Structure 1
Amino acid sequence: MGESEPRRVRIELHSKQDGGSGVLAYKGMLYPRKNAIYIKYAEEDEGRGRCSVTFKWDSEGLTLLRHGEVQGEQSFRPGRRTTGWHSTAAGRLWLETETSALKWNGDASGRLPFEIEWQYELWVNEQSADRFDLKLRVWEDKEE
């Protein structure tokens, strides 16, 4: 299998914030491209609904996109404050993300396994909401 072909992957999203910590596990797909890596999986939450989640890693940083019952966009750029949004049936929230750290742990070409770690402060409708410390672990899914 070539390095540019889609691959089935396992994904763990580790999160720490003031309210505690947690780990969510998913099965998804990795789509390596010439100038970016895409990680895609489905997310289902009883309170928020279902959506397709895509992480995009490129030279600019990390971008998170959600499509489905929950929609949104956030971008993480080290040392910068970026704008985004989050939308559910209850309405749309405007987000600002101030990223203090963003790091790729793994082979620079995107070979599996790898981790992406980032820390940020989230602002919702111009109010500070919380600080987050996240790690996205991705490795090959060898189950048939």
Structure 2
Amino acid sequence: MSENKKVSMHIESISEEQQIIQNVIAEYFYKGDAVYYRYEEPDHNMGRITTTLKIKGNEIKVVRHGDIQSEQLFQLDSLQPGYYHTASGKMNISNKAKEIKIDLDPQGYGQISWSYELFLNDEHSGDFALKIQIQEDNEA
């Protein structure tokens, strides 16, 4: 199953200060024992960014390319290094996932959710939770 297909994603991101809801159309494909979802960030204030989610086993990797570049790996109860790079410079970040739930069917539809603590230069920067609903793209 190597051909790219399209799915509709409903993304809810919650932090202490705000809730952000995005609806995007993503390409998805399987490579080995991982499933990938790739989409353009809809917030054009951040510039042009392509986000890739890689789901493998019980870990989630988020990679952004474009005007902002970042990489984060989420593994349960494990402090993971990452980075966030903008035109103003590069910051070292790390996270510790408190909860990861992956419930996907063989077609790549279902729900992914995780919550984590974010650290900026080893200082606690906030608590975040994401929930992503993935379903068939009816417009494809």
Q: TM class by shorter-chain length?
A: over 0.9
Gaps of 5+ in 1: none
Q: Note closer, same or farther for the CA distance 1:113–1:5 as it changes in structure 2 (3 Å cut).
A: same
Q: Structure 2-normalised TM-score? A: 0.92
Residue aligning to 2:99: 101
Residue aligning to 2:26: 28
2:122 to 122, 126, 141: 126
1:114 to 110, 115, 118: 110
Question: Displacement, 1:28?
Answer: 1.4
Q: Secondary structure at the match of 2:49?
A: strand
Residue aligning to 1:63: 61
Matched to 2:19, the amino acid is S
Question: Displacement, 1:60?
Answer: 5.4
Spell out the pairing of 1:127-142 with structure 2 (5 A cutoff). Answer: 127-142=123-138
Q: Structure 1-normalised TM-score? A: 0.90
Distance between the aligned counterparts of 1:90 and 1:104, measured in 2?
34
Matched-pair contact (CA < 8 Å) for 1:61–1:76: yes
Summarize deviations over 1:13-48 as a string: whole Å, max 9, x none. Answer: 111111132211111101122310000001143442
Matched to 1:134, the amino acid is L
Matched to 2:33, the amino acid is N
- Percentage of identical aligned residues: 27
Gaps of 5+ in 2: none
- Runs of 4+ aligned residues of structure 1 deviating over 4 Å after TM superposition are none
Deviates more, 1:46-55 or 1:32-41: 46-55
Matched to 1:122, the amino acid is L
Residue aligning to 1:92: 90
Distance between the aligned counterparts of 2:79 and 2:58, measured in 1?
13
Deviates more, 1:39-48 or 1:55-64: 39-48
Cα RMSD between the aligned structures?
1.5
Question: Displacement, 1:113?
Answer: 2.2
Residue aligning to 2:14: 16
Q: How many residues are aligned here?
A: 140
Question: Displacement, 1:112?
Answer: 4.1
Q: Secondary structure at the match of 2:76?
A: coil
